[in-house]
Chain A
Amino acid sequence: MRYLSKLNPFFFLALALFAITFFVDAQTPEEDDSALAQEIETLRQAMVNLNRDLFILEEDLLFPSSTQVAVYLAMDIGEYFALDAVELRVDGEVATNYLYTERQVSALYRGGVQRLYVGNLSQGEHQLTAYFVGIGPENREYKRAVSLSFEKGEDPVAVELNIVDSTSKQQPVFTAKTL
C-alpha cells in the first residue's frame, strides 16, 4: 500500500501554450462511486459467505461425522528436525503423501497446525502410521515413524501428530494421540 502524489496538472496547461488541452471536463456521473464501492464490498462479503457455506456443505457431505477421521500435524521449534515430508498410512494403506514448502514449514514453526488428512473410516479398530522425513541432528537425513491404534465410533475422530524437540535427548520426538 503506497501512495504517490502527482504534479499539478495546470502546470502542463501553462506550458503547452499551443498544444490542445490534455484534460477534458468531467462528465457528471450518474451514480456515485461510493455506492458502487459499497455494492462491490457487499458482493465480496456475499462471496466469502458463499465460500464458507459451500466449504461446510462439502465437508458434511464428503466426510459425515459418523465416518470422519482427521489427522492434524503440529510442530515444535524444529531445532533438531527440519520437516521435509510426511507419509501417512491408515490400516496399511497409504492415505496421503505430503511434501512441505518453506512457507508451510514456517507456518508450523509459528504455531500453526496443519490438517494433514481427512477421510472416511468404518467404525471399529484402526491403525494409523505416520512416517516423517527430513533433516535431523547433525544435518543427517532422518526418517522416523509413529503408530497409533484407535477405535472409530459414531463420533468423528481427530488424531494429532506432534513433532517435539527433546532437549534431554537432543533428538526430535514424534508422538500421536487422539484428541
Chain B
Amino acid sequence: MKLPNCLRRSLLVVITLSVLLSTLGAVALANTKLVSAEKQQADFYHVLYTYFQNDFVTTLGLIDKAYASHSFQALSQDDKDRLALMRGASQLNLGLYNDAQQIFLDLLSKATSDYVQANTWYWLAKAGFDNKQQFLSEQAYQAITQGELEEYLEFDQWQELSYLAAHNRMQSGDDWQSLLNNIHKSTIFPAYLLANDATKAFNNAEYEQAREGFILAKQALITHQRAQSGVLAMASELSRDLLDIISPWRWFSSDPNQVAERRLEDQEKQALREEQSALFDHLNLNLTYTLLQQQDDENALAVINQVSHEGGESQQAILTLGWTLAQQNRWSPAITTWRHLRQNETGLFGLQASYGLAYAYQQQGLFADAYYALEDTINQISESLDALGQFKQSIDQATFLDTYQTQWPDNLLDVKRLFLSSSDTQGDFDAKYLLGVRQQSVEILQILAEKQAHLDILNNLLQERELAFKQRGDSLSLEEKKIALSQAAKQIQILETRLSPSNEAQRMELMISMLSPDIQNHHSRLAQAEQRHQRLLKDPPRGRPLKPSYAERLARLEGILRWQMEYDYIANRWQHKRLLDNMKIAYEQAQKAYDSVVIAQQDTSNFAKEYQRINRISGQIEQQKVSAQRVFETADARLKQFLHGLVDERVAQLEQQYVNTRLARIRLQDMRGNQPVMGNSRAGDNP
C-alpha cells in the first residue's frame, strides 16, 4: 500500500464517520443559544397579535415563554413597558385584579411613554372599579386630562373612563354633569348615569327630579339604541360589500375562524340587546314608582304596561299600584288592578292580589265578594305551602343549582327574584356573586379535567418517543463505528511511525514510497538498466569489454535520481505530515461525536426531566381540583343555606297569613250575620 493513498483513504473514512456521528448526536447537543434581536421583536409582536385577538391566556403564556428564553433583552424600554401593560390588561381580563393592579402601579411609578401612561391609567381605573377602589377612576381621569393624554386612548376607552369618573363623582356628590357632556350620546353610558341620578333623587324623595331623570335616561337609551342599530346596519352592509369584492370561493368558506368570529359577534349583539332591554324595564319600573308617588296613576299604568313580564318586577309594581290606589280610597281602580293581577298571575302576587281584593270588597261593603276572595286566598296559601314544601326538598338535590334557571317552579318565581336580588338588601350575602363563583368553580373543574386528559396525551406521546428513541439507539450499530475508530487510531499510529524513520534504510524506504509515479518509473527503469549492465559485464561469450561510458552514464542517472528523491523528500514528508495532522483532527472529531452519541444513547435524563415536568403539572392539577372543589362546596352550601332560609321565612309568613285570613273570614261571617248581604255573591253560596 502506497502511503498517500493509504492516508487519503483513512482520512476519508474518519471524516465520514465524524459527519455521521455528528448528525446522530445533534439532538443530544441542542443547547440554548442566543436569540437574535429580530426573533425577540417577532416574539413581542406575536404577543401583540394574540392580545388583539382577545386570547389572553395565550398572551400570558407567550410572554412567560419568551421571558424564559431571552427576557426580551433586545427590546426598547418602551416596548418592555407595553409588554407589561399587555400582561396587566390580560390578567385583568382574566379576573386577576390584584396582580393586574400591581403591574399598573409599578408602571406608573416609573417614567414611561405617553401611550403607556395613558393606557396604564385607563386599565388601572378598570382594575380599581372591579376591585372596589372606584376612586382610582377619578385619579386616572385627572392624570389623563392634566397630561393631555386623551389622544393615546381609543374612543371607546376614553368614553368608558369618563363614565367611570362620572359615576365615581356622582357617588361622592361631586359635579358629574360636566363629564356627562363629554360622553358621546351614541354610547349607553349617559342612560346609566341619568338613571342612577334619578334613582338617587327618588331615594331622597325628590320625585319631580326623579321623574325627569328617568325620562331623560329613557331618551338617552333610545338615542343609544338608534345609534347602535344604525352602526350595526352599516357594518352589516359594509361586510356584505366586502364579501362581494372578495373572491367567490370565499362565499362557501367553512373556515372555523370566520364561523367562530361571527358567532362571537352574534353573542355580543345579543348581550347588548339584552342589556338594553333590561335597562329599559328598570327605567320603566322606577318611573312607575315615581309616578305612583306623584299620584299620577294613569301614566303609571301606561308605563307599567311597557315593562316585560320576564323580569318578574312588573307584578310587584302592579300590586304596589293597587295598594297605592287603596290608600287613596280609590277602590274601583284598585279592584280593577288587583283583579287583573289575580287573573294573570299565580303564586305570591296572585295570592296577595286576592287578599287585596278581599280588603277592597270589605271596605266597599261587598262582604260576599270579600268572603270568596278570602276563600281564594286561603286556597292559594295552601297551594303555596305545598309548593314550598316540595321546593324545599328539591333544593337539597345535588344538581339543583345547575338547573335552577329552567327547573324553578313558575308559582315561586318571586322567591327566585328575591333569591337573586339578595345582594340588594343584605350587604354580606350576594347570591349572584356566589352563583358566579360556583359556576366558575364548576368550569374550572371541567377545565382541569380537560387539562388532565391533555396531559395524559402528552405523557403517552413522551412514552412513545422514548420507545422510538430506544429502538433507534438499539438499531444504531455503534460497535462497528467503534471498531472503525479503533482501526483508524491504529492506522494513524502506523503512519506516524512511518513518517518518522529511525535509520537510513527506513528513511530510504519512506523516500521511495513517497515518490511520484514518474520518478518511480524512472527509478525502476534505472534499476533494470543497472541489472542489464551487470549481466552484460559477466557475459563471457560476448568476449569484448563494455565501454566505461555506460557505467558512467548509469552512475550519473542514479545521481540525478537520488538528488531528485532527496529534493522531493522534504516537501513530500511535510505534505504527508499535514495530511496526517488533518486526519488526527478528523479522528478526534469523530471520537467526540461518537462519545456524544454513546452518552445520548445511554442518557435518558432528558426524558426523565420531561416526565418530571408532567408529574409536576399533574400534581398542580390535583391540587387545584381540591381547591376548586372546596370553593364549589362552600358556595353551593351557602347558597342552599340562604335559599332554605328564604323558604322557611316565606313558609312562616304564609302560615301567619293563613291564620290571619281565616280569622278575617270568621270576622266577615260575623259581620254578614249583622248586615244585609251586598255584592255579586254567587247563587247558592253559603259560606
Using a CB–CB cutoff of 8 Å, the interface residues on chain A facing chain B are: 1-9, 11-12, 15-33, 36-37, 39-62, 64-66, 72, 74, 84, 99-104, 106-108, 110-115, 123, 133, 135, 139, 141, 154-155, 158, 160, 179
Known interface pairs A15-B323, A84-B250; A155-B195 also in contact (CB < 8 Å):
no
Q: Which residues of A contact B634 (CB under 8 A)?
A: 31, 36
B120 within 8 A of A: no
> Among B48, B64, B94, B247, which residue has its beta carbon within 8 angstroms of that of A112?
B48
Most buried by A among B39, B188, B628: B39
Contact check, A16 vs B167: say whether CB atoms are below 8 A apart: no
Q: Which residues of A contact B455 (CB under 8 A)?
A: 54
Contact check, B646 vs A99: say whether CB atoms are below 8 A apart: no
Contact check, A133 vs B440: say whether CB atoms are below 8 A apart: no
Which one of B144-152, B254-262, B481-489, B515-523 is at the interface?
B254-262
Closest to B638 in A: A29
Tell me, rounded to whole Å, the shortest Cβ–Cβ distance linking B227 to chain A.
Answer: 17
Tell me, rounded to whole Å, the shortest Cβ–Cβ distance linking A130 to chain B.
Answer: 15
**B341-355 contact mask (Cβ, 8 Å, vs A): 1 or 0:** 000000010001001
Q: Which residues of A contact B289 (CB under 8 A)?
A: 7, 11
B112 within 8 A of A: no
Chain B: how many interface residues by the 8 Å CB criterion?
Answer: 124
Contact check, B26 vs A15: say whether CB atoms are below 8 A apart: no
Complexed CA–CA distance, A36 and B448 (Å): 19
Contact check, A27 vs B617: say whether CB atoms are below 8 A apart: no
Known interface pairs A24-B645, A24-B649, A141-B247; A46-B428 also in contact (CB < 8 Å):
no
The number of inter-chain residue pairs (CB within 8 angstroms) is 266
Q: Which residues of B contact A37 (CB under 8 A)?
A: 437
Q: Which residues of A contact B359 (CB under 8 A)?
A: 18
- Tell me the residues in window 199-218 of chain B with beta carbons closer than 8 Å to chain A beta carbons: 199-200, 202-203
Known interface pairs A1-B130, A36-B631; A19-B323 also in contact (CB < 8 Å):
yes
Most buried by B among A22, A37, A47: A47
**Can you list 28 A-B pairs, Cβ within 8 angstroms, ordered by A?**
A1-B126, A16-B323, A17-B327, A18-B323, A20-B654, A24-B650, A26-B425, A33-B428, A33-B430, A41-B95, A41-B98, A43-B628, A44-B96, A47-B447, A48-B57, A50-B624, A52-B61, A52-B64, A53-B616, A54-B454, A57-B613, A60-B610, A101-B257, A101-B258, A115-B49, A123-B26, A133-B247, A155-B33
> Among B65, B196, B650, which residue has its beta carbon within 8 angstroms of that of A4?
B196
Q: Which residues of A contact B282 (CB under 8 A)?
A: 4
B97 within 8 A of A: yes
Closest to B621 in A: A50
Contact check, A40 vs B27: say whether CB atoms are below 8 A apart: no
Closest to B99 in A: A45
Contact check, B631 vs A43: say whether CB atoms are below 8 A apart: yes
Chain B interface, DSSP helix/strand/loop, else mixed: helix
- Tell me the residues in window 162-200 of chain B with beta carbons closer than 8 Å to chain A beta carbons: 163-164, 167, 188-189, 192, 195-196, 199-200
Contact check, B98 vs A27: say whether CB atoms are below 8 A apart: no
Complexed CA–CA distance, A111 and B48 (Å): 7
Closest to B258 in A: A101
Contact check, B164 vs A12: say whether CB atoms are below 8 A apart: no
Complexed CA–CA distance, A160 and B39 (Å): 9
Known interface pairs A5-B196, A179-B42; A43-B49 also in contact (CB < 8 Å):
no
Complexed CA–CA distance, A1 and B128 (Å): 12
Known interface pairs A4-B192, A24-B418; A46-B653 also in contact (CB < 8 Å):
no
> Among B38, B316, B437, B642, which residue has its beta carbon within 8 angstroms of that of A36?
B437
Q: Which residues of A contact B654 (CB under 8 A)?
A: 20
Complexed CA–CA distance, A1 and B162 (Å): 12
B102 within 8 A of A: no
Q: Which residues of B contact A158 (CB under 8 A)?
A: 39, 42
Tell me, rounded to whole Å, the shortest Cβ–Cβ distance linking B428 to chain A.
Answer: 6
